[in-house]
């Protein structure tokens, strides 16, 4: 049921009980996307169990399962996949509820405008790529737990400082199981400062991406270390760091080509892990100095 098999291209799953619709959409979109098609929900769910999919483009009115119901089931299999309804009929209340729950990211009426549909799919693919990256970053942040535990064992900090570190460790652990949402402590208590940190980190990430593969990258570690020290003086936690990274990445990726987005994501993953390492080391030195006062 695949119309193309280029792993470098985003994958779109088209679901409609009318094979003429799936064929027409596949012909119009296969130049840009890898296309899978299904004429029933069961087949679509089977594909989702086998293949990573960026966008699920589905009709609403189908015999055994509505498009909204299909997208709710699909979210259990692939949480990052973006759901889009294209239909001549839908229940507005059900659609609004599905959008609020996060299983549907958009709607377009039949007959569709193929140019507008392509633009929407490009936007959804970009959102999918960022969501996948964010989840990967959250999982990799868990590697910092071991360093934090070692720090807690070695540091002779007072009770208040130790409580801060325990809370920081718990935030890392929870971040590893879900993509962090907006609402980090710094974003809530100091929005202007948080936005400034995002802007500074965006510049660092952009510079790191520009310098990929170059021999002379001596300025990056120093600049990243200075940035980590600024975060350390603010007692920034993992939720702050990951949220700064997420917001900066979204800012940089807006309107970029898929190749540029991929470059930002890959370089950003390395930069974030290095930044968190610097921050852990900063806290280790700070606590050791305090224990000798």
**Residue 137: inside a domain, yes or no?**
no
Query: Residues 10, 125: contact at Cβ < 8 Å?
Result: yes
Same domain, 87 and 201: no
- β partners of residue 82: 55
Domain count, the chain: 2
Q: What is the pLDDT of residue 3?
A: 44
Q: What is the pLDDT of residue 63?
A: 86
Q: What is the pLDDT of residue 26?
A: 94
**pTM above threshold 0.85:** no
- Residue 150 vs residue 288, higher pLDDT: 288
| Alpha-carbon gap, residue 98 to 91, rounded angstroms | 11
Q: Which domain holds residue 62?
A: 11-130
Residue 89 has pLDDT above 90, yes or no: no
How many beta carbons lie within 10 A of that of residue 137, not counting itself?
24
**Residue 35: inside a domain, yes or no?**
yes
| Alpha-carbon gap, residue 256 to 232, rounded angstroms | 32
Q: Which residue has the tokens 């296969």?
A: 30
Same domain, 185 and 261: yes
The whole-number average pLDDT for the span 24-44 is 93
**Residue 212: inside a domain, yes or no?**
yes
Same domain, 34 and 57: yes
**Residue 107: inside a domain, yes or no?**
yes
Q: What is the pLDDT of residue 182?
A: 41
Comparing C-alpha atoms, which of 234, 252, 253, 244 is closest to residue 275?
244
pLDDT digits (tens, 9 = 90+) for 207-264: 988 887 655 555 678 889 999 999 988 888 777 888 898 889 888 888 777 778 878 8
Q: What is the pLDDT of residue 174?
A: 54
HSE toward the beta carbon, residue 137, CA cutoff 13 A: 30
Angle at which helix 191-210 crosses helix 219-233, to 10 degrees, equals 160
Same domain, 260 and 153: yes
Q: Which residue has the tokens 């769910």?
A: 45
Instruction: Choose one of 84, 107, 130: the last residue of a domain.
Output: 130
Q: Which residue has the tokens 């490009």?
A: 122
Instruction: Choose one of 99, 130, 161: the last residue of a domain.
Output: 130
pLDDT digits (tens, 9 = 90+) for 172-184: 555 444 444 444 6
**Residue 3: inside a domain, yes or no?**
no
Q: How far is CA 97 from CA 46, 106, 191, in A?
A: 25, 12, 30
**Residue 135: inside a domain, yes or no?**
no
CATH value at residue 113: 3.40.50.2300
The whole-number average pLDDT for the span 156-161 is 46
Same domain, 92 and 223: no
Residue 69, both tokens = 């119901």
Task: Name the pLDDT band for 265 (thresholds 50, 70, 90).
Answer: confident
- β partners of residue 285: none
Task: Name the pLDDT band for 268 (thresholds 50, 70, 90).
Answer: confident
**Residue 5: inside a domain, yes or no?**
no
Q: What is the pLDDT of residue 57?
A: 94
* Rg, C-alpha atoms of the chain: 22
Same domain, 118 and 29: yes
Same domain, 96 and 154: no
Same domain, 261 and 206: yes
**Residue 6: inside a domain, yes or no?**
no
Instruction: Choose one of 108, 130, 152: the last residue of a domain.
Output: 130
SS3 per residue for 139-196: HHHCCHHHHHHHHHHHCCCCHHHHHHHHHHHHHHHHHCCCCCCCCCHHHHHCHHHHHH
Same domain, 87 and 162: no
Same domain, 169 and 204: yes
Same domain, 219 and 149: yes
Q: What is the pLDDT of residue 198?
A: 94
Same domain, 126 and 236: no
Sequence-distant (6+) residues with CB within 8 A of 118 are: 28, 29, 32
């Amino acid at each position: 049921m695949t119309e193309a098999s280029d792993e470098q291209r985003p994958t779109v799953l088209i679901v409609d009980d009318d094979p003429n619709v799936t064929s027409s959409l596949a012909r119009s979109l296969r130049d840009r996307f890898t296309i899978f098609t299904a004429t029933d929900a069961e087949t679509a769910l089977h594909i989702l169990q086998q293949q990573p999919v960026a966008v699920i483009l589905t009709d609403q009115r189908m015999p055994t399962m509505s498009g909204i119901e299909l997208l709710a089931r699909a979210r259990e299999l692939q949480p990052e996949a973006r759901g889009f309804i294209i239909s001549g009929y839908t229940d507005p209340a059900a659609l609004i509820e599905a959008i609020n729950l996060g299983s549907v990211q958009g709607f377009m009426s039949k007959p569709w405008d193929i140019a507008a549909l392509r633009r929407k799919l490009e936007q959804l693919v970009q959102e999918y790529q960022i969501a996948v990256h964010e989840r990967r970053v959250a999982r990799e942040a868990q590697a910092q737990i071991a360093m934090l535990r070692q720090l807690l064992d070695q540091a002779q900090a007072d009770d208040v400082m130790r409580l801060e570190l325990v809370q920081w460790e718990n935030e890392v652990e929870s971040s590893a199981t879900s993509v962090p949402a907006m609402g980090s402590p710094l974003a809530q208590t100091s929005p202007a400062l948080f936005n400034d940190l995002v802007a500074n980190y965006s510049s660092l990430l952009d510079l790191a991406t520009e310098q990929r593969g170059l021999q002379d990258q001596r300025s990056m570690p120093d600049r990243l270390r200075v940035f980590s020290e600024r975060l350390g003086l603010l007692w920034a936690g993992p939720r702050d760091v990951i949220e700064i990274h997420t917001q900066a990445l979204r800012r940089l990726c807006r309107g970029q080509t898929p190749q540029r987005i991929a470059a930002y994501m890959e370089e950003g993953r390395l930069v974030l892990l290095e930044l968190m390492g610097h921050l852990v080391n900063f806290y280790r030195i700070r606590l050791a100095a305090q224990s000798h006062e």
